[in-house]
Structure 1
Amino acid sequence: MDRRTTRQSAARPAEQPTRIHAVGPRGRGAHRLIGDALRAAVPGDTVVVDPGRYEEAVVLERRVVLVARQGSGTVVLAAPAGGGPALTVQGPDCLVRSLDIEAADPGEPAVSVAPGAGVVLAHCTVRGGRIEVRGPERAEQDGPDEQDDAQGTSAVLLRHCRLEGARLAALRLSGGARVRAEDTVITTVDGTGVVLSGTARLDAVRLRLESTTGSGIRLRGRSRLRLGDSLLHRTGRAGLLLEDGSRATADGTRVESAGAAGVQVTGSARAELADCRIGDAGASALVVQDEGRLVARGCTVREPAANGLLATGSARAELTDCRLDDCAFSALHLSGDADGTLTDSRVRGGAEHGVHLAGRARAVLTDCAVSGVTMAGVAVTEESAATVTGCRISTADTGVTVSSPAGSRIAHSTVTATVRSGLEIGPGAKAELLGNRVSGAGAAGILLDTGSEVTVEGGTVEGSAGSGLVVWTGARPEVSGLRIEGAGKNGIYFAQDSGGLLTSCDVVRSAFPALHLAAGAVPRLRRCRVLDCAEALGGEEGAAPVFEECDLGDRPAPPPAAPAPFGLPAGAPVPPPAALAPAGPPPEVAEEHLDDLLAELGTLVGLDRVKHDVHSMVKLMQAVRLREEAGLPAPPLSRHLVFAGNPGTGKTTVARLYGRLLKALGLLRQGHLVEVDRSALVGEYVGHTGPRTAAAFNRALGGVLFIDEAYSLVPAAGGHDFGLEAVATLVKLMEDHRDDVVVIAAGYPADMARFIGSNPGLSSRFTRTLLFEDYQAADLVAIVEHQAQEHRYELTATARERLLRHFETVPREAGFGNGRSARQTFQEMTERQAQRMAELGSPTPGQLTALEAEDLPPLG
């Protein structure tokens, strides 16, 4: 602080020495009250206070020093019961050191600094009340960077202070107050930690603010805040809240475990963050609303309960060299008329999109990376628009999806390893795709939906599991210089009534015909090439493509495709026969004896009801076989089963054993198990679900097709879904191959009835349900012991007893995995035991194999 020691109105003559006034409960010459000593002091004097508790309202009217003789924690200045602050500062350049100051009411000020006054509080504790600093109100036209007025500014320095137990606020600044806080702690506040209003300013370095029921720091009016190397921790609401026209800068600051937003900017406020960390926010980590502005550089956002950045209204956000990890919602969500710029930043993990634009939002992404998000890397919806340049998107559900007609531009970016399409332009959307690379898409490399307006210039599509480029019904793109290589289906799929102009494009090594032309497709291809493909053309009658100077390879175009096999819908793309056949012969299963398999079934932990049902079915099938050998007609028998049970109850294990039992009975050729789920059966666009389902079914011929979470094929809310097409295909295939395959549909008990009821053919084929009940605590202990024996461990008697109690009390919630939880418990026990052994130095062989009670994981 700037000490002003030359005020003429209260100056001490230079020749007069500084006096010391003693205060204590006893002693000759000492004042009994602090107030008495202060009244006797003149500017520049020092008041030294002996240990004790002083209940009085002290007023500093002139420049004095007030200090505890024996240091912090020895002197308590408590406000009298009648109310009012314990300490009121009215004079300039005062110093208070090593006092504990208490208010009579936590909602009242313990320290009050009047307009124009100044004080240094060093090594003080303010308890059960706030520090209130009031400055003169400044004229509205005063600029934010004006110089302080020496005659009118309230100035306070907090150094190594602690503020605790206040209500409403711990530090309140108003008017033209100026406060600097160094190495100060604010904690346990029933309300907001710090409140600034008017044109107040707070400059805080190494501030630690924690445990507030309201926001950490709240700025209103035209107040200003500067934070450096600080921590805002466990605030009940926003960590940092800016309103009205306030401004804040933060450098090297952490905002952890905020109850709401980490940083929230509203009104016309502006926040600038540099090298800050916002972790575990209870809502979105960064929120910018109204006409707010946020600039963040080198910041990290980690595990917010909602978005990493939420911008609404006319807000503007600029993020450079930032990182947003594991957001519960989209990492960045912009809506309304918000505008966002993201440069050289990274999004990793997240339950929704990497970047989601809605309303009329605009975003510019440059040299950014998005990976591991559950939905799209970038989703552009409603009337929003994005410019994406030089970005890298990987391991997302879809790379970039655009459903807005406003016009987006995706340029020189890379999309890899997506679950579905790499680039997807929705119905009626408009986009430019320039020089992009799509690699390893789980479905189509680029999908251009109905009525989209798209220009594609340059770029590559490599190794897509579906077709490289899909031009859907009614789409008319302009595509030039695109190379499609190694597509798992067609190189380019032209749907019914599609078209467009393709110039200088290459299709290389596609698994299906290089070009699929549905009825009514009218594309024009100029100087395009088909290289190393089994076939150049495939599709339906009624297509009218135009080829100009094209090279379609050595093979002539085949005739129109025959009717689709396996009962697929008419007009579906017909893959080569090899694509519908198994990838190779099913694995050989060694000859096994029925009694040995039933004995193996008996060794499984628990599952008494399932074991009984399997034994009954085996006896029935033995009787059927004897009747057939005797030349008698066999009774009707459906070998298809429903396995209903929660996760980890042994459904897959029993299914594999069931196939081996049927082979031992001579009812299946191979008895092998092919395990699939929705993703293995359902295609990404019309016409591809049937072939995919048929291919999975064919791999199971001679054995068991095990469909895990089969209910996911049937939408819970009804309506059309490609999963229903998979169900219809399965019903037909089960009828065509009823003697050469067994289908087991597995899932949660409550959902399997919906699956069976979705198609009349299912209820007639799945007539028996095996209920897999949850494991009891003793069963889970037995599973752990079995795992221990396999890995040469042994549970002590105490560990076994406590493990039983552990499983009896562990919550059986949605995430409980039954046998899987038991195996995870065993793994954690071995890890904890290994840590314990490392601390012993030289453990004995017996110690290395023993699992003790202390190795059990804690509940929760």
Structure 2
Amino acid sequence: MRTLLVSPQQRGAYTTIGDALAAVTDDSVIAVAPGTYAEAIYLTGKRVRLVSAEPRSTVTLDASMLPHPTVSVRDGALALEGFVLRAGDAPVISARHTRLSLASCELSAGFGPGVDLAGGSIEMRKCTVTGAQYGIVVEDAPGTIDGCQIDDVAEDGIIVRIGADPVITGTVVRGCGRRGIYVYQFGKPTIEGCEVAQTGDAGIVVAHQSTPAIRRCWVHDTQGVGVSFARGCAGAVEECRIENTGVPALDIADGATPTVITARPDAPPLTIGDASPSAGGDAEAVEQLLAELDSMVGLAGVKDEVRALIDEIQVNEWRRSAGLAVGGMSHHLVFAGAPGTGKTTVARVYGKLLAALGVLPKGAFKEVSRRDLVGQYLGHTAEKTSAAFEEARGGVLFIDEAYTLSRSMGSGGDFGQESIDTLVKLMEDHRHEIAVIAAGYTGEMDEFISANPGLASRFTKTIVFENYSPEELVRIVRRMCAEDDYVLGGQVEAALLRHFAAIERDANFGNARDARKLFESVRKAQAQRLRVLGRRPSLDELRTLELADVEAVVGVS
């Protein structure tokens, strides 16, 4: 199997995905470096797999300024894993007589389908489609659509037609302008464990001699009827919940003959999505990440707060998979506390936890500060803020010293306020696609939340990071030593404890940052001491930080 690398910065690599595709042979793998590629790609008669060159990194293929589909493929096989795909007024993916496989991809379009496939087969797992004309169109093809989400499309969420018979499981279709799922022209899909909600017309429509099997689905909050079968259609509706829809909830026309099986009163809860024991995410990954959190020094209150959040998210996912009602829950947080208390590290773990639970599509983490969000003229700030937000979508946007956005930093317009106003709107428009964490000193974060009335409703939870105790700071230094293959000599820990106990906890106190600075200074003092020995130090001498090294930095106490 041949692998080709695409990286504009790496010598010897292909600079564009199109260049690599021109050179591929069948069953090649194209590994793409993280970044945004402003191009549309075309593939005919070949079998190719495209992946990110760096796991959990973001590769964006942006054809939003072009009149063509972002991906056009014919008479071949194409697999895409972990890509962000954007189109303008054209389909995101147009496939003809192709074996198409998509995993963990995000698709968006100004107008046109997210996926338009005719002939061949389709396999989509854990993908999202937003802002398109239609979400997924499958014509004359089998396949699988599993664990996907289709939001805010202009017309129909999923269209199955001309004899197509895909299996659609665990998929959520919300906010469609017309129908959630439209089956017509002899379509015969299996639709199982799916949720269809908030549609401008009916939830699921079956027409033109189609015969779908609709099992254990939840259709609710639709302006039209919940499920409808037109004359000449058959199939089955089994153990589905249809709530708060137009009348009638289940509309079967004269001459339609579907089998309808209602759930028994003593039946187990309806399953929406993955009914396996792993519903609600990767349990093993969640436990590993919680163990990583527990291994951090101190932060007992923070750990309890994060665990409580994760417990609630986990149970909500289990309830959702069982078809039970789930209240709205914001994943945006305020981290309040002094510098060096582990806010950034905890935010990274939190993002990975949300990804492991399946709440966010990625564990990506983007850290920004005022200079990354605020521009120099009116309108520039909205562009910078939107760009940073877009990069973080699917993961965590961590805003360090967020309170600086609510302060005027010089003469001219208050562009920090423009950034806040932009963030408030983006957080509402994409509330299920990102976790925004605003961090800073406790008092100043109150000032930040007051800067826009919408912030308080977006950030409903504040986690306070206390200063580390002297004993915890000693443990942090000890851990730094172990990581860099050093040990502390006799009386060193006692000296460090006295030093940290004497430090004033004022606004300049850096907590773990101060511990890191001290460790680096003690290492330098050890190097200076060993350098003048007049001989090569032994292994123990090279590894051991002595009391004299600490005293050289902090003085004798």
TM-score normalised by the chain length of structure 2: 0.47
Higher relative contact order (CA 8 A, sep 6+): 2
Please state which structure has a larger fraction of its residues in helix. Answer: 2
TM-score normalised by the chain length of structure 1: 0.33
Please state which structure has a larger fraction of its residues in strand. Answer: 1
